[in-house]
A and B are shown apart, each in its own frame.
Chain A
């Protein structure tokens, strides 16, 4: 016993170091294997209010920019209305049908914490289960896509940012309709890579990239970005660099999208796969 005590006293510095470092490693590893956002959520009950206060100040400082975005969004909606009036009767008929089947519900939310400078970025929103947010819903803003909801607590939710190496979404070239997986490149905050586009179709710089809608998370034809560079990889497939239209450094107002038919679609896909 005496020996043990002497040992402890002699090496307490190294032992304490090992103890604290182990705690750190446990925290890190648990976060990586389980959903790390779970812990982040816990931490946010502590820092949530703090972040909220900062968000209020940031909101105020960016009022000008926000006004501009709202005006743009307004214009876009105006245009939609006008064009739907001037189209032909048959178009009107199909438009009507699509209105009757309401597919997506938009829930407005505010970003209260966001990072862009890590390899696995997450975004915290100020809406939670109480506001109808659920796991795997899409998050978008008026400029483009933002991410996918990962964890939900009572009043907050956390989303995997598109700037996260774990997130891959299905995107297509608007002009030709060819689709492939799109993933962030890991550097910068506006570059992503689109793969698996066959070499025999023609693409051009500045072509629009939009969501394909296959994943039942994002609605179809939602703007993602434009082609900024492309090259042939191995001769058969293009490797396309996409400039994202969302400014992840300046995220304030976002919309969470609920797909009303997601479960039905997933169920059907599941059954088809099982056969």
Chain B
């Protein structure tokens, strides 16, 4: 447990920096804006207490908001993603549940499980985010297209990162 803390803090800063410095500057054909920072919420240990999970989700969103001038948007989407994580974990739990000492990684539960886990939370996050942004005007379907294209790119990056960072 003592080892987990600095590692997660480090991951928090690295992901915020990558998001702000690299991915916020990427805009493919006006539709695709990947938001990979939610990987931080996905990778938190199973034992993370509820209050900490919510607070971290909130702080993560707020940090992104401050650096990309979108006060509120990412905070709302990110807090919601953190809130829903335990429920999603419940729904897709393997038959014998989550064993002690395991972490939500491809390594422990396989690619299919991780993909399902990441996909549900990423799509929820992107739907909330893009519809808050578009709040004032119509364009329901073009926003939906943006949600799904961006989700696809975010997911690909998240899943790929698992293979790059956690090589055996």
Contacts and interface: CB of A to CB of B under 8 A. Distances in A.
A52 B71 CA distance: 20
Interface residues of B, number: 36
A27 B62 CA distance: 10
A27 B83 contact: no
A21 B50 contact: no
B50 A13 contact: yes
A16 B72 contact: no
A46 B63 CA distance: 11
A29 B72 CA distance: 8
Contacts of A12: 50-51
Nearest to B66: A43
Nearest to A13: B50
A202 B132 CA distance: 42
B33 A21 contact: no
A54 interface: yes
A265 interface: no
A40 interface: yes
Main secondary structure of the interface of A (DSSP, over half): helix
Contacts of A26: 72
A25 B149 CA distance: 26
Interface stretch (B7-15, B40-48, B53-61): B53-61
A32 B76 CA distance: 15
Main secondary structure of the interface of B (DSSP, over half): helix
Which bracket fits the contact residues of A? 35 or more
B137 interface: yes
A20 interface: yes
Contacts, number: 85
Given A13-B54, A17-B54, A20-B58, A28 B132 contact: yes
Contact of A27 (B57, B68, B75): B75
A23 B21 contact: no
Contacts of B139: 186
Given A16-B54, A17-B54, A188-B30, A115 B68 contact: yes
Contacts of A116: 27
Given A24-B61, A24-B75, A115 B51 contact: no
Interface in A157-173: 165
Contacts of B33: 117
A31 B71 contact: yes
A149 to B, nearest CB: 15
Contact of A113 (B50, B57, B69): B69
Nearest to B72: A28
A28 B128 CA distance: 13
B61 A47 contact: no
20 contacts: A13-B83, A17-B79, A20-B54, A20-B57, A20-B58, A20-B79, A24-B58, A25-B76, A27-B65, A43-B65, A43-B69, A47-B66, A54-B21, A115-B68, A122-B69, A124-B69, A165-B137, A188-B30, A189-B27, A189-B30
Interface of B: 21, 24, 26-27, 29-31, 33, 50-51, 54-55, 57-58, 61, 65-73, 75-76, 79-80, 83, 132-137, 139
Q: Which 8 A-B pairs have the closest CB atoms?
A: A28-B72, A24-B75, A187-B30, A117-B27, A24-B76, A27-B72, A13-B50, A17-B83
Given A17-B83, A117-B33, 7 more contacts: A13-B51, A16-B50, A16-B54, A20-B55, A31-B71, A32-B135, A43-B65
